[in-house]
Amino acid sequence: MSVHLRRWPVRRGLFALLYVVPLAPFHAHAQAAPDAQQLLAASDAIRTPAQAFVLNAALTEYRSGKQVDANMLSIYTKPDAPGGTFRTLVRFEAPARDVGKLMLKNGDDLWFYDPANQASIRISPDQRLLGQEANGDVVTVNLAHDYTATLLGEEDVTDGDRQLRHCYRLSLAGNTPGLIYHRIEMWLDATNNRPVKARFFSESDRLLKTAFYRRYTMQLGAERPTEFVIIDGLDPNWVTVMRFSGYAWRAIPDAWMQRDYLARFRPE
Whether domain 36-264 has CATH 3.20.20.20: the reply is no
Convert the pLDDT of each residue in 215-266 to its tens digit. Answer: 999 999 999 999 999 999 999 999 999 999 999 999 999 999 999 999 999 9
Distance CA(65)–CA(62), nearest Å, equals 6
Interval 45-53 mean pLDDT: 95
pLDDT at 30: 52
Identify which has the larger pLDDT, 92 or 33.
Answer: 92
pLDDT at 198: 98
pTM score, whole prediction = 0.85
DSSP for 245-257 reads: EEEEE----GGGG
Interval 69-93 mean pLDDT: 92
Identify which has the larger pLDDT, 19 or 129.
Answer: 129
Q: Where are the domains of the chain?
A: 36-264
Convert the pLDDT of each residue in 96-114 to its tens digit. Answer: 999 999 999 998 899 999 9
Alpha-carbon distances, residue 94 vs 71, 224, 262 (angstroms): 5, 25, 18
Coil, helix or strand at residue 125: coil
| Alpha helices per DSSP H over the chain | 10-20, 36-47, 143-146
Question: Measuring CA to CA, which residue among 126, 132, 131, 129 is closest to residue 68?
Answer: 131
